[in-house]
Every structure is written in structure tokens, then in C-alpha cells.
A and B are shown apart, each in its own frame.
Chain A
């Protein structure tokens, strides 16, 4: 276990290093930050002094080392636009994104599990067929367009839900969260459902497949033969066993949810990390782009590691040593 963990951490470090090099070259070598940072009126001497102050006169590999050294100390540069440390800027917006992603995951389980369970228990009923057909739509519908349609129907025409923004927030652990106030929750409903759309379909299909498989197992037959009530068989014997794959897949998808929140946040003007990166790309705010990408890479490596570890905890049959 320890060996596996160490090896994985080493691999992770190599990936982070490789990505930092890639991101650095991508962002800093293509395009010239001097033109944005130094005013065009500056004369030659001023220009050279500014370039030297920014370290842009050094060869690229030295610039990279400087960047790396600072990054290790948690300094990923200052945003050109906000004139704040890029890292701080992103961390400030992280709660909003995490909240949205968790909301979406929760919504996916809340909606997907019962529907999938029903479709699995009564595979031939017309309701189940309807559920499955809808789940196919969930895979094919362009999510961003569905988001627009949600705004159209529920915000513009019916006026039930607010269309954009995060609404009122309340403080918890020194951070501001929307889900603690009614107004914030109302603002969260549409973005969370929109982000959950793909996952709902996924959960429905997984649950249905799991239920159909488990129903044929001997222990389910035995439980029935014992004369247990159908409800008990369904919820204790079947449901518990299908939860493991469903939860793992949903966990695995969490990274994808955070990635896709870029789109959802843009539609609903949700002030999270995703909206920040789109805005930064549009104004070429390089330090923020670099910092965001580095944080995302770290996040993904952590998620993948956690998922691998959870596998072994949930299912002792998975042997970690042989996988590494």
C-alpha cells in the first residue's frame, strides 16, 4: 500500500512538472507579454528596464526555473486585470464552483437513482421505456443549449427562478456559500440541474443495468424465497449492492463536472472558477490562465488518486500493487 502510494505520488509529481512546462511554454512563449504590460509610449531604456525587471531578458529555460521556484512558494504571478495574486483570485472563486459541482452530483443521485431503480425493476413497462428514451436524450442534448432553454422557460416565461448570478450568500468557515440561504438555493437550482443533466442519464443507466443484473443473483432469489417483503429485498439486498459502482462512477465523474462547469457558469453567470478562466482567456490575462491550469491539473491528479484508493477500500478484490 505504502509502496503503491509513494509510486503514485512520484508519478503525479512528474506529471505536474511536465504539465507546468507545457503550460509555461504554451502561455509564455507564444505571444509577447511585453506588449501588454509596457505602455507603447515608453522609450527604449524604460522598455529594457521593465523587461529586465520582469525577468523577460533571461533565456526561456531560466525564466521557467524562476516561474517554477515561485510556483513552489505558492506564487503563480499577479493578474494583469485585477492586480491581485492569481492564486488568491482563483481560490476565492473555488467555493462557488465546488458548491455547484456538489449540487449537481447530489441532484444526479437524487433524480437518477429512483428513476433507474424503477426502470430496472419494471423493464417492460412503458414508463421505463420513456425513462430510458429520455436518458438517451440526456447524452445527446447539447448541454449549453438546454441551459439556455431552462432560462427561457423558468426565468423568462414563468418567472419562477432567477436566471443568473449566485444570489444571497451566507458565511461558513470563513467562506461564502449560496446553499445556506433560500435565495442562494433558488439561484443554484437551474445551474445545478443543467450541470447534472449528463450525470442523471449516466446514473439512470448504471442503476438500471445494476438492478437487472442483481435481481438474477442467487442471494436475491434466496431472500425472496425466505418470504421477505419486496420492499426489503429491493432496498436492502439489491440497492446496497448497486450503490458501489454507481457511487464510484459518479465520483470519477466529479472532475468532469468541475471541468464542464466552465460552460454552465458562463451560461448562468455563476461567479466561479470556470467563468473566471473564460473571462481571462478573452482578455489574455496570462498569470490567471497559468494558475488555473496548474490548479486544475493538481485537482485531477488528486481526484484520480482518491478514486484509485477508494476502489481498493470499497472492493478488496482490487489489488493495488499489481495495478501499479
Chain B
């Protein structure tokens, strides 16, 4: 429910935000660093205050949410595709392929995500696309492990055997028979991973290695407020953080609910 509202805000940000934070004509540098609730020069109330450039924080958060959600969901989706294909391959092919893919998964999971992402960004440089690449690289392993786990169970079932007896092509068995039955846990993991990806992106952007300054995500907004924090101007960092927190918690709640709905064993 909360998540729906957040998603809607992100999608319709350009239409509902009181101000376009990237349109310099709408900004008034005289309105910089105003406290929440002040009325600006143009007779405009800044409910959440303004940053150093005189941007309305509320609008900034709405646009930032857009970028955070796009990067988070986009990278989770690509990682899901990559991870699920590899996991499926490992489970179906077995043997050496399985061993190789699972060693890679182990290696990936034993290395902390933040460090791996940091390394990749150090090589590739900043930019939205590079952040997405980094997030995909650190996240695919979770999907691969999940899919492999459920695919290993499912492929021993009778319906797969039946499909094999019908001499259906392997591709058809994998996509039409095996994959749909492995989806429920995958969907839950994907939801949780979106939240993780958003948090990770925010952290990377906060460190100055994430999205470029021209397309500020929530993490970058928080980073911008860091230097003003020490002089007591809390709102520049505070409100984007709250927005980030609400987003992450609401996605995790959606994931929890999905798990309950999709797992018949948990139904009482």
C-alpha cells in the first residue's frame, strides 16, 4: 500500500512536484538553505526546506526517488535474468557446469557486496549505467542460488519426467515447465533484492562513486546535506533519508507479504 504510493510518486514526479529541481530558471539561489516551511522569494512555500542551490527539497526527493527506484528495480531485474538463467543452467546441466557456476556463486557471496561494487565502480567510473552494472554483478549470485535450489527439487518431479518422455525440446521443458514452478521463491528474493539494491546504490552515491551529480538519487541528496549538517541545517540530509527508509521498509514488507502468499506451506 505504502509502496504503491511511493511508486506513484516516483512515476508522476514531474507532474506533481511543486518545482522542477533541474530547471535552473525555476531556482532562486537567494532561497538557498531555507528552513522547512519558509516562504521563498516567489511566494512559494518550501515545506521541507531548500538545499544550497535553493532547490525545493520536496521536489528533489520526488525526482530522487525516481532515480533510486529506476536504478534499484532495473538492476534487480537484469540481475534476476542473468542469475536465474545461470541457476537454471546449473540445475539442469548438473555436473561440471553446475560445479563451476556454484563456485562462482560462492566466491561472489563470500565477498561483501559493498566492496565488490566499489571495485567495479573504481574500474568503470561513475554513471548510472555503471552503477547498474555493478549492482548486477554483486546481486546475480542470490538469484542463481535461489533458482538452482528450487529447480533441483522440481526437476525430479514426475511432470518433468513426463515432459521428457514426450521428447519435448529441452528449451521448452526449461521455460514452460521448470521455470514457472521455480518462480515463487524467485519473486520473493527479487523483491527483497530491489530494497537491497536501492540501499546499496544510495550508499555508493553517498560515497561519491554512484550516480552523477546531474541526476541525484536519494543517496546523493543525503551526501549533499552532509557538509551543512555540522552547522545544524539538518533537513537537507534528514528528509531524503526518511524517504529512503520508508521506501526500503515498504519494499521489504511487500516481500514479506509475497512470501506468505506464495508459500502454501506457511498457510495455516
Contacts and interface: CB of A to CB of B under 8 A. Distances in A.
Interface of A: 15, 23, 26-27, 30, 137, 139-145, 148-149, 151-152, 155-157, 163, 255-256, 259-260, 262-263, 266-267, 277-278, 281-282, 289, 293, 296, 300, 304
A282 B199 CA distance: 21
Contacts of A140: 195, 245, 248-249, 252
B222 A148 contact: yes
Contacts of B122: 26-27, 281, 289
A152 B121 CA distance: 29
25 contacts: A15-B107, A23-B119, A140-B248, A140-B252, A142-B248, A145-B222, A145-B241, A145-B244, A145-B245, A148-B225, A148-B237, A151-B229, A151-B230, A156-B231, A156-B232, A157-B232, A255-B112, A259-B112, A260-B114, A262-B207, A263-B203, A277-B118, A282-B208, A300-B110, A300-B111
A265 B50 CA distance: 28
B35 to A, nearest CB: 15
Given A137-B249, A278-B209, 20 more contacts: A23-B119, A140-B249, A142-B219, A144-B202, A144-B219, A145-B241, A145-B245, A148-B229, A148-B237, A148-B241, A152-B238, A156-B231, A256-B112, A259-B114, A260-B114, A262-B118, A281-B118, A281-B122, A293-B119, A300-B111
B123 A26 contact: yes
A293 B112 CA distance: 12
Interface of B: 107, 110-112, 114-115, 118-119, 121-124, 195, 199, 202-203, 206-209, 219, 222, 225-226, 229-232, 234, 237-238, 241, 244-245, 248-249, 252
Nearest to A263: B203
Contacts of B234: 152, 156
A187 to B, nearest CB: 15
A267 B207 CA distance: 9
User: Dominant SS at the B interface?
Assistant: helix
A278 B226 contact: no
B224 to A, nearest CB: 11
A277 B117 CA distance: 13
A226 to B, nearest CB: 37
Contacts of A141: 245
Contacts of B249: 137, 140
Contacts of B202: 142, 144-145
Contacts of B124: 30
B138 to A, nearest CB: 12
A256 B112 CA distance: 6
Contact of A142 (B111, B203, B226): B203
Contact of B114 (A139, A151, A263): A263
